[in-house]
Amino acid sequence: MKRILVSGGAGFLGSHLCDQLVAEGNQVTCLDNFFSGSEQNISHLLSQPNFKLLNQDVTHPLTIEVDEIYNLACPASPQLYQRFPIETFKASILGSLNLLELAKSTGAKIFQASTSEVYGDPQVHPQPESYFGNVNPIGPRACYDEGKRGAETLFFDYHRKHQVEIKVMRIFNTYGPRMSATDGRVVSNLILQALQGRDLSVFGDGTQTRSFCFVDDTIDAMRQLMDTSKEVKGPINIGNPTECTILELAKLILELTGSKSKLAFVPAAEDDPLRRRPNIELAKSIIKWEPQISLQEGLVKTIAYFDSYLD
């Protein structure tokens, strides 16, 4: 049994990770201040003897005995991080500093949930880990993009200077049950609009692309990366290499929900990447991972979740 800290453990990804870690019998501490997470996501775990909730902001230092740390604490919703840019940047930078100090003092292995947003609006397609990115450092998305880039810098500096064992994963567009209904992400937005009979908002002309990975596949990749040898540090891309346009996604959601809603084209968001698809050759070769759940299968499960949410 390992002592594992999951920062951001009440969030979308964090709560699914906590589920798996608790089920395996680990002693899990969930660190969350519910800025973007939800107690509802972990309410079923509160009665478990090997689960503990620590209501604290990751920007505050903490002392706890741990063997492994998963750092998932940062708002990932464009609506939320653009509304609270300074808090978002602090969560990435100060949160990483605090958890890296904890890892250094305890000898714990530490995982960083980074993001495809470190590539910005990419000029290389698909994006390999060797690509340095094309990011606007002063734009409305920079608090998240540059915060995650800065966090990666800190992780590698702590590894080089203090020999902290690190694992860095760049996550591409994960979706699934427990996504927030108000987070402004494209999958949750379109599903809710379809279920409620509202027009589906398609930004720009809908030809911009994304690659959507179901949450179960992403969590499996996290665990597999954490279990690799010390020599494997990352960064490693995790996502589904099947690329689709936002227009294709909207039409598929209409089909799967049986909705009679119409498509409504709205102005494109500032600095919104035009293409996004991961090169996952490193993941396939190093951690023997590739996604198993198709977009249609994952959307069916996600639609069922939001359908019950609306009941």
Higher confidence at residue 7 or residue 78?
Answer: 7
In the prediction, which pLDDT does 169 show? Answer: 98
Give the global pTM: 0.94
What length is written for the chain?
A: 311
Do residues 249 and 209 make contact, with C-beta atoms less than 8 angstroms apart? Answer: no
Q: Distance between CA atoms of 77 and 108, rounded to whole angstroms?
A: 29
Is the pLDDT at 78 greater than 90? The verdict is no
In the prediction, which pLDDT does 46 show? Answer: 97
In the prediction, which pLDDT does 183 show? Answer: 83
Active site residue 81: no
Do residues 56 and 31 make contact, with C-beta atoms less than 8 angstroms apart? Answer: yes
Is the pLDDT at 311 greater than 80? The verdict is no
User: What are the two backbone dihedrals, phi and then psi, of residue 255, each rounded to the nearest 5 degrees?
Assistant: -65, -45
Q: Distance between CA atoms of 233 and 89, rounded to whole angstroms?
A: 23
pLDDT tier, 200 (very low <50, low <70, confident <90, very high otherwise): very high
Do residues 207 and 273 make contact, with C-beta atoms less than 8 angstroms apart? Answer: no
Is the pLDDT at 164 greater than 90? The verdict is yes
Query: Is residue 209 helix, strand or coil?
Result: strand
Average pLDDT over residues 243-271: 92
CB proximity list for 173: less than 8 A, separation 6 or greater: 116, 210, 211, 212, 213, 239, 240, 276
CA–chain centroid gap for 20, Å, is 16
Catalytic choice (70, 119, 144, 158): 144
Query: Is residue 58 helix, strand or coil?
Result: coil
Q: Which two tokens stand for residue 151?
A: 């966090």
How many CB atoms lie under 10 A from the CB of residue 103? Answer: 25
User: How do residues 8-24 score in pLDDT, each as one tens digit?
Assistant: 999 999 999 999 999 99
pLDDT tier, 51 (very low <50, low <70, confident <90, very high otherwise): very high
Cβ burial of 198 (10 Å; 0-12, 13-18, 19+) is middle
Q: Distance between CA atoms of 229 and 222, rounded to whole angstroms?
A: 14
pLDDT tier, 255 (very low <50, low <70, confident <90, very high otherwise): very high
Is the pLDDT at 271 greater than 80? The verdict is no
pLDDT tier, 63 (very low <50, low <70, confident <90, very high otherwise): very high
In the prediction, which pLDDT does 305 show? Answer: 96
> What DSSP string describes 239-284?
S----EEHHHHHHHHHHHHT----EEEEPPPTT--S---B--HHHH
CATH class of 3-174+214-239+277-292: alpha beta
Spell out the domain ranges in the chain.
3-174+214-239+277-292
Helix and strand totals (H; E) in the chain: 10, 13
Classify residue 29 as left (phi > 0), alpha (psi -120 to 50) or beta. Answer: beta
**Which amino acid type is present at position 112?**
Q
Is the pLDDT at 140 greater than 90? The verdict is yes
Q: Distance between CA atoms of 101 and 145, rounded to whole angstroms?
A: 23
- Cα angle 296-299-302, degrees, rounded to a multiple of 5: 160
Is the pLDDT at 134 greater than 80? The verdict is yes
